[in-house]
Structure 1
């Protein structure tokens, strides 16, 4: 077996094969970085929508809940196929990188929205009430009062999320 590997090594170890592997690794890293950055933004937005108590935003809260719970329970490969066929149904010729980036973004956004929502909910209710007494809006309360305190609890699991996204690609 080892002799066969040694015999085949010169055919495998060519410049073009290493170039192909380097290009594939760069594409994987770019896809993961783009998906994690956009997923973080979507996750933060979904978390803020889900913690609001406004009656006017109830339909948006329900949609955010359905999005989060739905895509957290669907496997990545199924999400990838859903995105692929959804783009194909539009009739446009979309590059596969865009399909994969949207799929990674959707999954990362769903997981990160729960991480951020849990961190925002962990801040004591007195902090929210104190910000309301100072006449802060919801976004000002989150930005100046809640997020600095919740950041310590959100950061460890959120920092692990890119490694989780990279694990998606290792499974193929």
Structure 2
């Protein structure tokens, strides 16, 4: 089997999940599962006007590429796509897409879950909430439950 080349994209523009699914599956008839996670911007009970996501260009892509290599060492995948947006994102819009393809579902589920735990906790992205009142709530801190979810991967 050829080595998988992960697609790592950090972009301002939205993405098309169906087009990404088509790209990851392509002509590969040996894929038995594609696990897809798409993270959306919530409206926080009607209080959020937008989420502002910042990153260090170059650093974010390099770190995501490093973690993708770790994922490919841990699980046997036939495809891997990670897309993360930056800029002002309104409620209901896409923020992140993770697609992990494999021959069997377990590897795809584990890889996608690990990647989302990584992206929520240690990826070099910063989020600021802009409220409907015109105020900024400030930078969003990592939640304890997200940190605990990421820690579980270190014991496996």
Structure-1-length-normalised TM-score: 0.25
Larger radius of gyration: 1
Higher share of residues assigned strand:
2
Structure-2-length-normalised TM-score: 0.27
